[in-house]
Amino acid sequence: MPGIYLHVPFCRSKCRYCGFVSFPYREKAAAAYREAVEREMATAAAGCRRDSFASVYVGGGTPTCLPREDLVHLLDRVDRLFAVETGAEVTVEANPDTVDVRYLAALRASGVNRLSLGAQTFDEGSLRLLGRPGGPGAVREAVRSARSAGFTNLNLDLIFGLPGQTPAAWRQTVEQALALAPEHVSAYDLELVPGTPLARAVREGTLAPCPEEEALEMYQEVIDTLTRAGYRHYEISNFALPGRECRHNLLYWENGDYLGFGPSAASHWRGTRRSNAGGLEEYLRGEGGTGEGEDPAREMTDTVIMGLRLIAGLDLEAFARRFGVPLASVYPGELERIQRQGLAEIVAGRLRLTKRGLPLANEVFRAFV
Partner 1 sequence: MSEDHVPTDNIRNFCIIAHIDHGKSTLADRLLEYTGALSEREMTDQVLDQMDLERERGITIKAQAVRLQYRAADGRTYQLNLIDTPGHVDFSYEVSRSLAACEGALLVVDAVQGIEAQTLANVYLALEHNLEIITVINKIDLPNADPERVKREIEDVIGLDAREAILASAKLGTGVEAILEAIVARIPPPKGRAGAPAAALVFDSHYDPYKGVIAYVRVMDGSVETGQKIRMMASGKDFEVAEVGVFRPAMTAVRRLGTGEVGFVAAGIKNVRDTRVGDTVTDARHPAAAPLPGYKKVTPMVYCGLYPVEASDFGLLRDALEKLSLNDAALVYEPETSGALGFGFRLGFLGLLHMEIVQERLEREYALNLITTAPSVVYRVTTLDGRVVDIDNPAKLDALGKIQELAEPYVAASVLVPREYVGPVMELCQDKRGMFRNMEYVGPGRVLLTYDLPLAEIIYDFYDQLKTRTRGYASLDYELAGYRASDLVKLDILVGGEEVDALSSIVHQDRAYQRGRDLVERLRGLIPRQLFEIPIQAAVGNRVIARESIKARRKDVLAKCYGGDVTRKRKLLEKQKEGKKRMKQVGNVEIPQEAFMAVLDIKKK
Catalog residues that contact partner 1 under the rule CB under 8 A.
5, 188-189, 191, 212-213, 215-216, 219, 236-237, 249, 251-252, 258, 260, 264-268, 273, 275, 292, 298, 301-302, 305-306, 309, 341, 359-363, 365-366, 369
Choose between 166 and 275: whose C-beta lies nearer to partner 1.
Answer: 275
The distance of closest approach from Cβ of residue 302 to partner 1 in the complex, given in angstroms and rounded to an integer, is 6
Nearer to partner 1, 134 or 359 (CB): 359
Tell me how far, at minimum, the Cβ of 357 lies from partner 1, in Å. Answer: 10
Q: Which is nearer to partner 1, 152 or 290 (CB)?
A: 290
CB of 126 to partner 1, least distance (A): 18
Least distance (Å) between residue 276 CB and partner 1: 9
- Residue 242 Cβ vs partner 1, minimum distance, rounded to whole Å: 23
Q: CA-CA distance, 59 to 126, in Å (whole number)? A: 23
Q: Which is nearer to partner 1, 166 or 341 (CB)?
A: 341
Least separation in angstroms between residue 227's CB and partner 1 is: 17
Q: Which is nearer to partner 1, 143 or 251 (CB)?
A: 251
Nearer to partner 1, 116 or 153 (CB): 116
Beta bridge partners of 258: 3, 268
